[in-house]
Amino acid sequence: MRPAAPLPLSFYARTPEVVARELLGKRLFRRTPSGLLCGTIVEAEAYLADGDPACHASRGKSRKNATMFGPAGRAYVYVIHARHCLNVVTEREGAPSAVLIRAVEPLRGVAQMQRNRQTDVLRDLARGPARLCEAMVINRLLDGWDLTLGRSLWIAEGDNVAPLPTIAVSHRIGVTSAHDLKLRYYLAGNTFVSGTQKLNGKPS
């Protein structure tokens, strides 16, 4: 697939639950010196500005999470367990909400992703937030990047194939608080979604 036009600011300027759900099936593009990388988003989690202790912004603004407090449509890249994770900022300036992109299905630049990840296993290239970042060369230099520019890193419309895949919902993976919130969205049955088979087969 050729590079497609970036989604506009209006796409991101909505609640994180809506953005997370609508990101499924969209395409994540990354242009590197070694070539263009692209994958279909198959899993995303919402983090709320209010009433969500799992959200990094819930304990106030800091150098690390400052991007979340800025305008929508920017990338929020942070490090956890010595690994990177990619979010998109939602809503508006002053409302620190975001959507974590947890997995993509590799579409283009597979050979480079295999080199970046040091594995040939297609399913393991971008199944998980940190794997995705390693495969697509996403690091803290991209924190705050404007995703509506259509350069370096952006998200575009995907093919609207029929029948539309079923969207499933579950609790978020890995978070140690707010386990009752069902804010993880994924394409049911897609092999590139992270998490256990039990969780994905029986959302709770």
Partner DNA sequence: CTACCGATTGACT
Partner DNA sequence: GTCAATCGGTAGA
Enumerate the β-bridge partners of residue 75: 88
Tell me how far, at minimum, the Cβ of 175 lies from DNA, in Å: 4
For DNA, the binding residues in 60-99 under the rule CB under 7 A are 60, 62-65, 68, 76, 78-83, 85, 87, 98
User: What would the x/- binding string for DNA be over residues 116 to 155, using CB under 7 A?
Assistant: -x------x---xxxxx-------x---------------
3-state secondary structure of 185: strand
Question: What distance in Å separates the CA atoms of residue 162 and residue 59, rounded to the nearest whole number?
Answer: 43
* DSSP secondary structure, 73-140, as one string: TBEEEEEETTEEEEEEEES-TT--EEEEEEEEEEEE-HHHHHHHHT---GGGSSBSHHHHHHHTT--G
Q: How far is CA 111 from the centre of its chain?
A: 21
Residue closer to DNA (CB basis): 2 or 59? 59
Tell me how far, at minimum, the Cβ of 141 lies from DNA, in Å: 11
Tell me how far, at minimum, the Cβ of 125 lies from DNA, in Å: 10
For DNA, the binding residues (CB under 7 A) are 45, 47, 54-57, 59-60, 62-65, 68, 76, 78-83, 85, 87, 98, 100, 117, 124, 128-132, 140, 172-177, 194, 196, 198
